[in-house]
Amino acid sequence: MILSSPLTNQPLQTLMNLSKPNPTLVEVLTTEVAEKRIDPISGHRSLFSLRSFEPGECIHEFSAKATHSTPNYLTVQLAENKHIELYPEYLECINHSCDPNCMFDTTRMELVALQHIEPGDEFVFFYPSAEWDMDQPFQCHCGSLHCLGMIGGARYLSRESVNKYEFTDFIKSKFRR
Ligand SMILES: [Zn+2]
């Protein structure tokens, strides 16, 4: 896990300006802990924190809205052939970053903070932390100094990356095989 985040190290005001919800351009759905923002032009969805969290703290419990035997771009992997759609649904708006501040703990079924999170921070998780072999690999442009570039799932990570990040118990069991 990377402790310093170029994004979260910025003063909150700058961060708020960077991710400024323009009310005419961005649809906003507010929940008790988070704000979901949707850009109606690009369709890009993101989730921002409304409060602070400390590392290890549960941000929100989750459960399965539906279960599939194969992954898709919205599912989270629980086991070899078990991929869930998230409930509450807004959690599926959490984007990938190579410098994550949270992860889906699929044993406790909790979204857990990995770093200190401030109100206004975007929630971001490291997709390979929960996905062995992703349905849709992509070229990452997260802006992290340590961006890994191509993201395809935990099975494609270097040993250095495996040692640097947190993973679900299922992914850890795959590394041991
Ligand atoms: Zn990246």
Q: Cα of 156 to ligand 1 centre, how many Å?
A: 14
Q: How far is the CA of 138 from the centre of ligand 1 (A)?
A: 10
Q: How far is the CA of 59 from the centre of ligand 1 (A)?
A: 23
Domain-located, residue 82:
yes
Q: Is residue 3 part of a domain?
A: no
Distance 96 CA to ligand 1 centre (A): 8
Buried b (16+ CB within 10 A) or exposed e, 85-103: bbeeebbbbbebbbbbbbb
Within a domain: 71: yes
| Distance from Cα 2 to the centre of ligand 1, integer Å | 12
User: What is the per-residue pLDDT across 124-174, written as a single tens digit (0 to 9) for each?
Assistant: 999 999 999 999 999 999 999 999 999 999 999 999 999 999 999 999 999
User: Does 58 reside within a domain?
Assistant: yes
CA neighbor of 27 nearest in space, from 85, 72, 87, 93: 93
63 strand-pairing partners = 87
Rounded to 5°, the CA angle 58-104-144 comes to 100
pTM score of the predicted model: 0.83
User: Considering the domain boundaries, does residue 110 fall inside one?
Assistant: yes
Residue 154 Cα to ligand 1 middle (Å): 14
Residue 6 belongs to a domain: no
* Residue 139 belongs to domain spanning: 12-172
- How many domains is the chain built from? 1
Give me the percent of the chain exceeding a pLDDT of 70. Answer: 86
What CATH number is given to the structural domain containing 133?
2.170.270.10
CA Rg, the chain, in Å? 16
- Order of strands, edge to edge, in the sheet holding 34-38? 27-30, 34-38, 45-49
CA 113–ligand 1 middle distance (angstroms) = 18
Instruction: Tell me what the pLDDT averaged over the chain comes to.
Output: 88
